[in-house]
Amino acid sequence: MRRLAPGAALALAGCSGPLSTLDPAGPGAASVAALWWVMFFAASAILLGVCAVALYALRRERRGRGLDAGRFVAGWGVAFPVTVLAVLLVIALRTGEGMLPKPGPEGALRVEARGQQWWWGFTQHDAAGGPVHTAGELHIPAGRAVDVHITAADVIHSFWVPRLTGKLDAIPGHENVLRLRADAPGVYEGQCAEFCGLQHAQMDFRVIVHPAGAYEAALAALAAARPDPSHPGAADFAASCAGCHAADARQDGAAPNLAGLARRGRIGGGTLENEGRESILLWLRRHETLKPGSREPSHAALDDAALSRIADYLETAR
Ligand code: CUA
């Protein structure tokens, strides 16, 4: 029993956890999980069936009453797999179809997701129609259909939140739309699911699901989370960072939007847990070794005092 335990633990390790498809928290992921179980039980039944037929054929062979090879191959080698695969194909196509947006009375929320090496940027609009740009975190309400309009800035990426729905490619110059819905508030992990270069593994994001009634307030707080413009680090930020990064959620930029950075759970597409000012400072000092290949330029020209002021300035955006 003790010897079996590690093997069983390993086998079951994929059944839960933040990136598990088998722990669905929305209808899209539930249909993927259902498809997975159908395939698992069908494959298990087929395996047992094939073993039984092979044993039966062996026994007949030993008794000198071998099977008719032609009929055997036509039945078990062609007709049976074609039938099984056709059934699975129909179920899989219907599952995929269910993740695409459909016109309906429910009024889906529109958000835009843009993948780039190696982070995710999101744009959505508040009740007044004003844009709210974020990076690394997507905020949505619980219980409401959300249409994610997915595209990419450079190479092909793939948008995937395993507990909420299936994955869909992010393609430069093309927009794909994925419908998802989260049943309950919470934090759901997302990951780029298409190999896209050196830091593909450090291209994760989080979907923060708010109670439906608290969503607009959360979006407003996000839009208002600007750093303090009177802080001494504002001038350093303007001189060294603002060419690429916006620190205002109302503005877009070529690099990740840093409004509300201080309240994000992670930095650098999942490279670092954000434990406050020290994490931001660590990123500013060491990003080239923490995430080699990233487009963020070297900060070697900035002294430690300037980096500290920038970290302090970004910390004021809560
Ligand atoms: Cu982006 Cu992998």
Which atom of ligand 1 is closest in space to residue 156's alpha carbon? 1
The sheet with strand 137-141 has its strands ordered as 137-141, 204-210, 186-192, 157-160, 168-170
Residues 27-80 pLDDT 10s: 989 999 999 998 899 889 888 988 888 888 888 888 877 777 777 777 777 888
Which band of pLDDT confidence, cut at 50, 70 and 90, is reported for residue 220? very high
CB burial of residue 242 (10 Å; 0-12, 13-18, 19+): middle
Q: Which residue has the higher pLDDT, 12 or 195?
A: 195
Give the number of other Cβ atoms within 10 Å of residue 50's Cβ.
Answer: 12
- Rounded CA gap, 154 and 196, in Å? 9
CATH 2.60.40.420 holds for 233-315: yes
Nearest CA to ligand 1 atom 1: 157
- Rounded CA gap, 306 and 160, in Å? 37
Mean pLDDT of the residues in the chain: 88
**Is 146 within 8 Å of 181 (Cβ atoms)?**
yes
**DSSP structural state of residue 99:** T
Where exactly are the structural domains of the chain? 19-97, 109-224, 233-315
288 CA → ligand 1 middle, Å: 19
- Indicate if ligand 1 lies below 6 Å from the C-beta of 201: no
**Is 181 within 8 Å of 145 (Cβ atoms)?**
yes
Which band of pLDDT confidence, cut at 50, 70 and 90, is reported for residue 155? very high
Which atom of ligand 1 is closest in space to residue 115's alpha carbon? 1
- Indicate if ligand 1 lies below 6 Å from the C-beta of 197: no
- Rounded CA gap, 278 and 265, in Å? 13
126 CA → ligand 1 middle, Å: 28
- Indicate if ligand 1 lies below 6 Å from the C-beta of 170: no
Which atom of ligand 1 is closest in space to residue 200's alpha carbon? 2
Which atom of ligand 1 is closest in space to residue 155's alpha carbon? 1
The SS3 assignment for 258 reads coil
Is the pLDDT at 8 greater than 70? The verdict is no
CB burial of residue 77 (10 Å; 0-12, 13-18, 19+): exposed
- Indicate if ligand 1 lies below 6 Å from the C-beta of 190: no
204 CA → ligand 1 middle, Å: 8
161 CA → ligand 1 middle, Å: 13
The CATH number for 109-224, chosen from 3.40.50.300, 1.10.3720.10, 2.60.40.420, 2.30.30.110, is 2.60.40.420
Give the number of other Cβ atoms within 10 Å of residue 32's Cβ.
Answer: 23
Residue-wise burial string across 281-306, b where 16 or more C-beta atoms lie within 10 A, e elsewhere: bbbbbebeebbeebebeebeebeeeb
- Indicate if ligand 1 lies below 6 Å from the C-beta of 150: no
ipTM: 0.99
* Secondary structure element (H or E) that encloses residue 39, with its range: helix 27-62
Q: How far is CA 177 from CA 56, 60, 169, 171, 173, in A?
A: 51, 56, 10, 11, 13
Residues 221-257 pLDDT 10s: 998 888 888 999 999 999 999 999 999 999 998 999 9
**Do 233-315 and 109-224 fall under one CATH topology?**
yes
pLDDT at 1: 47
* Secondary structure element (H or E) that encloses residue 230, with its range: none
